[in-house]
Amino acid sequence: MKKKFSAIMPMIHLATNVDVPADFEARFLLFWRHKCQNVRLTDIMAVALNKPRETILVQVTAYARMIHAATPGPCAHVWLKSMGHLDGHSNNIYAEKITTLINEMTGVPKNKTVIEFYDLHGDNIGFNGATVTSNERKSQK
């Protein structure tokens, strides 16, 4: 079977000016508490974005020097990047889930969390020494 390099997505980067629990990345990847059930956030994202759970990249920057709405205090900035599967309806669902998780795990108020969504093209992502588009072309030969 030929390898589909676009499966390296999505990427989630969280920057916040507060501390995050030592196990934040693992908990972010493994669990999403929803209606008294433990649901894997990566499974939700994988199904929604049609990407393998094992390909989700999470980057966390704690104690970032940042301010939101011209007032000091806890805040967060999230970038969610994916090749496809980002649209107005889906992004609203992702925003609710991600904002709630950050609030529960770090105490950052929901109105102090900003999320940016980026629908990426394979020509603009490097992986394994080439662009994703180039890698996919090579794998199809």
Question: In the prediction, which pLDDT does 140 show?
Answer: 81
For the whole model, what pTM was predicted? 0.77
Cα-based angle 32, 120, 102 (whole degrees, multiple of 5): 25
CATH fourth-level superfamily of 5-139 = Macrophage Migration Inhibitory Factor (3.30.429.10)
The mean per-residue pLDDT over the stretch 66-77 comes to 95
| In the block, residue with structure tokens 């950050």 | 102
Q: pLDDT of 88-106, one tens digit each?
A: 998 998 899 889 888 988 9
- Alpha-carbon distance of 10 to 84, in angstroms, equals 9
Which helix H or strand E contains 72, and what residues bound it?
none
Residue ranges of domains in the chain = 5-139
Report the chain's mean pLDDT, rounded to a whole number: 80
- pLDDT over 90 percentage in the chain: 28
